[in-house]
Amino acid sequence: MLLRGEWYTADTPYQPEVSQGTLQSIYEYESLIAELTGLDVVSASHYDGAAATAEGALMTCRATRRERVLVSRAVHPDYRATIRTYLSVGGLVVDEIPLVADGPAAGTTDLAALQHMLADESEPVAGVVVANPNFLGLLEPMAEVGRLAHAAGAQFVSVVEPVSLGVLLPPGGYGADIAAGEGQPLGIPLQYGGPYLGLLASTEALVRQIPGRLVGLTKDLDGRRAFVMTLRAREQDIRREKAASNICTNQALLALAASIYLAAIGPHGLRDVAALGAAHAAALEDALADAGASRLHPGPYLNEFAIRVPDAAAVHRGLLDRDVLAGLVLAEAEPEDPSLADGLLVCATEVTTKDDIDRFASALRAELRKTDRIPAVPVAGGVAS
């Protein structure tokens, strides 16, 4: 569908009479993502998940007129770096919420630390940013995070993975004010990092704060239903230095791709995709444990988890020689977190086959034996201090 020139060679729908295709598709995108997130206002796309999350963090500062944002350390490192850049000006402060070090909640956002940080009245908090599933694949206590944030007068930004919302409770279901995330899993090719799709949604209360284009339903002179860009007084071409953001070009074609994916797969299909990923991940966990690599954290996950592999970078390279691209070396992604030094982040999706899992497990077993890397004492979970 995306190969049609009518879609990809049009520009922003400035002239609605000759842009009803694009406008209706954006309205439908807003509606589909609203169903997925449980939030009512969806902007017509941002650059990617990281930039959308940074815009979400800025929204909390505008909405609360406060200047401090708390970001969980289990938000993707690229997202945290992007938030730091976007919030590096205007006296804004970004503080990171530590993770639970050990026990059943290891690797998730430390709620006691969050509560302590929120209690500092000298620096009131505008927003709390937590991802579910988090960067380590673990499920977070989102409802509790929301309660703590709201009790302190802060807004709650939930970072989501859209396919997971086929089965997981949506942000609107646990009190998030804003949802942001990467829309790439909704049928968008990998393309070495982009173009992707920044998802950004909010409650209706924040409609004047949300950046980016919004399309609304209206009528033409003859009473026919039609769609138009609206609430434009937030945008740079109208409000200039008073705009909610400087965003102009967005990721419209990728929003269209996501809409087509969701329309084609439907609610049951999306649920099945998410559940298959979880089933395959469970099989992967068992196979990798059998091969000598147990999970790094004990808590529940959906389809992504970290395993303990001593000298993970070397093992990763060895597996590549065996034609297996074995996930992400956590020591490279999070060099400052010693608890992740032996971590390899892996995942399974709906397209992972039993053969994939067997090949990965047997290659890993061989790689671990090669250098006698199997830990002397099996680790049943928990993080070494």
The minimum distance between CB 96 and other proteins, in angstroms, equals 15
Which of 167/289 has CB closer to other proteins? 167
Which of 7/375 has CB closer to other proteins? 7
Which residues neighbour 293 within 8 Å (Cβ) at sequence distance 6 or greater?
Answer: 307, 308, 309, 344, 364, 368
Residue 344 · residue 312 · CB < 8 Å: yes
Which of 192/372 has CB closer to other proteins? 192
Which of 99/215 has CB closer to other proteins? 215
The minimum distance between CB 275 and other proteins, in angstroms, equals 4
Which of 220/358 has CB closer to other proteins? 220
Which of 119/351 has CB closer to other proteins? 351
Give me the residues paired with residue 328 across strands. 345
**Strands, sheet with 125-132, edge to edge from the N-terminal-most edge strand:** 41-42, 198-202, 178-182, 155-160, 125-132, 68-72, 93-97
The minimum distance between CB 341 and other proteins, in angstroms, equals 15
Which of 321/372 has CB closer to other proteins? 321
The minimum distance between CB 210 and other proteins, in angstroms, equals 10
CA distance 21 to 231: 20
The minimum distance between CB 369 and other proteins, in angstroms, equals 23
Query: How many residues are there in the chain?
Result: 385
The minimum distance between CB 199 and other proteins, in angstroms, equals 13
CA distance 30 to 262: 12
The minimum distance between CB 53 and other proteins, in angstroms, equals 10
Exposure string (b/e) for 132-166, b if CB count within 10 Å is 16 or more? bbbbbbbbbbbeebbebbeebebbbbbbbbbbbbb
Exposure string (b/e) for 68-79, b if CB count within 10 Å is 16 or more? bbbbbbbbbbbb
The minimum distance between CB 271 and other proteins, in angstroms, equals 4
The minimum distance between CB 315 and other proteins, in angstroms, equals 13
Which of 7/381 has CB closer to other proteins? 7
* One-letter identity of residue 240: R
- Angle between helix 252-290 and helix 354-370 axes, rounded to 10 deg: 60
Give me the residues paired with residue 155 across strands. 127
The minimum distance between CB 181 and other proteins, in angstroms, equals 11
Q: Would you give the end-to-end CA distance of the chain in angstroms? A: 52
Q: Which two tokens stand for residue 229?
A: 């860009």
What is the residue whose two structure tokens read 């609206």?
230
Residue 23 · residue 225 · CB < 8 Å: no
Which of 115/246 has CB closer to other proteins? 246
Which of 125/302 has CB closer to other proteins? 302
Phi, psi dihedral angles at 224 (to 5 degrees): -75, 145
CA distance 2 to 354: 32
Residue 29 · residue 256 · CB < 8 Å: yes
Q: Which two tokens stand for residue 291?
A: 């091969």
